[in-house]
A and B are shown apart, each in its own frame.
Chain A
Amino acid sequence: MLKVNKLYKDFGDLKVLKNVNLEIKSGEKVVVVGPSGSGKSTLLRCLNLLEQPTSGEIFFEDQEITKPKIDLNLIREQMGMVFQQFNLFSNLNVLDNLILAPLKRDKLKKQEAEERAYNLLNRIDLADKANAYPRQLSGGQQQRIAIIRAMMMDPKVLLFDEPTSALDPEMVGEVLDLMTELAESGMTMIVVSHEMGFAKQVANRIMFMDEGQIVEESYNPADFFENPKEIRTQQFLSKVL
């Protein structure tokens, strides 16, 4: 469903991604770990073209999306993204946060959008917050709403960039639970996160990034954490765990 070929990304003189190659199949749950500054966020942001790659190709459902003249908005609609800082629209209440994109992108009619919004809100037990503004909610509530906001567009893949690292510890669980539930429902997910428990329980594959490259990859997350092969992975894990 997603294929990345020889992806490079520079910011001026800084080479952030250096020849990243990967292929992700529908239904996979991939967790990406790596030290700060290794290019994890940049990789995710290149996937939905929030950053323009310097060179290389990205294919989404067999369509090359790095070609010029591609309708980026149509691509982004199909790839949800969840951010570290939640990024709910602070001028809109929860319901309007949820229905804005489906309405403006002509994906749903108003009534359908609201119905879908309430269904999702009920699933996360926050229907009573439909009229609240983001600043009136806890971090955990905001992040769960950000996740269902991405779900409103019925995306084919969800990208998560450290979704729990801005949360107070007691709220991490509720967000990971929701992500686990999504994973179990078959959603394709790429998750940058250092939550080892989540990785072991949910991921079918784990990738270690360092200095702009995928250094190690494993289809057995538990094994990856216990017996990392590369020295750089060992050093990193010994610091984090």
Chain B
Amino acid sequence: MPMLTAKFLEDFQSVFFTGENWKYLANGFKITIQVTFFAFLIGLVFGIILAVIRVAHKDLKPSWRNPSGFLLNLLNKIANIYITVIRGTPTTIQLLIMFNVILISLDNLPLVAILTFGLNSAAYMAEIFRSGIQAVSKGEKEAARSLGLNYLQSMRHVVLPQAFRNCLPAFGNEVITLFKETSISGFIGLIDLTRGANILVSNTFKAAPPYFAAAMIYLIVVYGLEHLFNFIEKRYLHA
């Protein structure tokens, strides 16, 4: 065992402190964080929109006969199909389709990844948010309407802020899932943390140090995110 450890440390040193090898992980990490962050923003905004469409459709039961009802019905249909398709297919396939088909003319790899993961996450966030909205007390929604606030006003000022709070723990989990899922970015040639580690392995013929180092970085970030969300949740609940 001590022998093994000594060997590992030696390999570790030779892998990371030869030339600028460590930069593969550092730059990869930067990409991973970037992709996660912007994908999360897209997922959040688009997910809320999808959720509001679905909840509004359920609450308002619009008729196909008037223009705004028609629009809401149509949007709801599209939202349902979208969510079904995204949740029913592997993210890797979605990434490959975006890269090779839909965004073929876009030669910005991080952007392709951001859009793919963002649009993917939106479908999951929509479901999280929808249950968060439905958990808001029916009485408060009615009180808002009884004061003359219209549907969107009651959503905006009463329902959504509470839904947001209800969803915080689930959002935390979604960010963590998203963060780890970006490790498939290598499929389209984007050099993220995982792919960076992979390149190091093929350059140095030593597998353990790069992979363990990458795993460690993922783990530390996940741990940090968990604490961050716990903290936000506590702050928010006691505000």
State the A residues within 8 Å of B (CB): 48, 50, 73-74, 76-77, 79-81, 83, 85, 87-92, 100-101, 104-105, 146, 149-150, 153
Stretch of B40-48, B150-158, B177-185 at the chain-chain interface: B150-158
Docked complex Cα distance between A81 and B143 (Å): 7
Q: Are A87 and B157 in contact (CB under 8 A)?
A: no
Q: Are B162 and A90 in contact (CB under 8 A)?
A: yes
The interface residues of chain B lying within 8 Å CB-to-CB of A85 are: 137, 139
Q: For the A-B complex with A76-B145, A104-B153 known, give 13 more contacts whose Cβ atoms are closer than 8 Å.
A: A48-B146, A73-B148, A77-B147, A80-B146, A81-B146, A83-B143, A87-B137, A88-B140, A89-B140, A91-B161, A92-B158, A100-B147, A105-B148
Q: Are B149 and A101 in contact (CB under 8 A)?
A: yes
- Determine how close the nearest CB of chain A comes to the CB of B85; give it in whole angstroms: 34
Which residue, of A90, A146, A149, has the highest number of chain B Cβ atoms within 10 A? A90
Docked complex Cα distance between A81 and B139 (Å): 11
Closest to A45 in B: B142
Q: Are B147 and A76 in contact (CB under 8 A)?
A: yes
State the B residues within 8 Å of A (CB): 137, 139-140, 142-150, 153, 157-158, 161-162, 165
Q: Are A153 and B143 in contact (CB under 8 A)?
A: no
The interface residues of chain A lying within 8 Å CB-to-CB of B165 are: 91
- Determine how close the nearest CB of chain A comes to the CB of B150; give it in whole angstroms: 5
- Determine how close the nearest CB of chain A comes to the CB of B69; give it in whole angstroms: 13
Docked complex Cα distance between A92 and B144 (Å): 12
Q: Are A91 and B158 in contact (CB under 8 A)?
A: yes
- Determine how close the nearest CB of chain B comes to the CB of A232; give it in whole angstroms: 30
Q: A90-B162, A91-B162, A104-B157 are in contact. Are A153 and B140 (CB under 8 A)?
A: no
Q: A50-B142, A87-B142, A89-B143 are in contact. Are A101 and B148 (CB under 8 A)?
A: yes
- Determine how close the nearest CB of chain A comes to the CB of B30; give it in whole angstroms: 37
Closest to A152 in B: B147
Docked complex Cα distance between A153 and B144 (Å): 12
The interface residues of chain B lying within 8 Å CB-to-CB of A79 are: 146
